[in-house]
Amino acid sequence: MLYVLYDSQCELCIRCRDWLMKQAVFVPLVFIPLQSEEVHRRFPGIDILKPDEQLLVISDDGCVYRGACAWIMCLWALQKYREHAQRLASPVLLPFAKIVCELLSRNRFFLSDILFRQDPESAARKLTAHYALHKASLQNTHCSR
C-alpha cells in the first residue's frame, strides 16, 4: 500500500488524485489530504519533510518518496504505467523527471487557476505573459562564448 499525501486546496493536486483513483492498480493507493488530522495521526512529525512543497508518498513499510520519486512510485503502482515509471526512474531520465516535477510543484496554484478556473481567453493571455516572462529570464542566463 502507498499513502499519497496531497494538497486538498490545490485544484491540480485534486485532479491528479482523481485521475490516479480511476486507474487499475497493482499496489493500492490511499489518498490523504495534507490538511487533515489523519496525516498527523498516521505520520507524526511529517511536517519536517515539508509535505506542502512537493508530493509525498509513503509506503506501508515506512519508505518516503518525495517529488519526482513520489510521482514515479504512483505510476509504478498503476497497471498501465509501471513500465513508464521504470523508464522515468532510469539514471538518464530521472534528472528530467525531477525538473518537471519541481516546475509543476512550484507553479501548481498558478496552473490550477489557469487550467481550471479561467475562461480560455483569459487563460491564454496569462499563459502567454507567463511564458514571455520566463523566456526572457532564461535568455538572460545564457553565457556567450
pLDDT tens per residue, range 7-63: 999 999 999 999 999 999 999 999 999 999 999 999 999 999 998 889 999 999 999
| Grid cell for residue 132 | 514571455
**What proportions of the chain, in percent to the nearest 5, are helix, strand and coil?**
55, 15, 30
| Grid cell for residue 138 | 532564461
Tell me the C-alpha distance between 19 and 45, whole Å: 29
Per-residue pLDDT band for 139 (boundaries 50, 70, 90) equals low
pTM metric for this prediction: 0.81
- Mean pLDDT (the chain) is 90
pLDDT tens per residue, range 61-93: 999 999 999 999 999 999 999 999 999 999 999
In Å, how far are 3, 4, 20, 40 from 79, measured between CA atoms? 17, 17, 11, 30
Tell me the C-alpha distance between 24 and 79, whole Å: 6
pLDDT higher than threshold 60 for residue 100 = yes
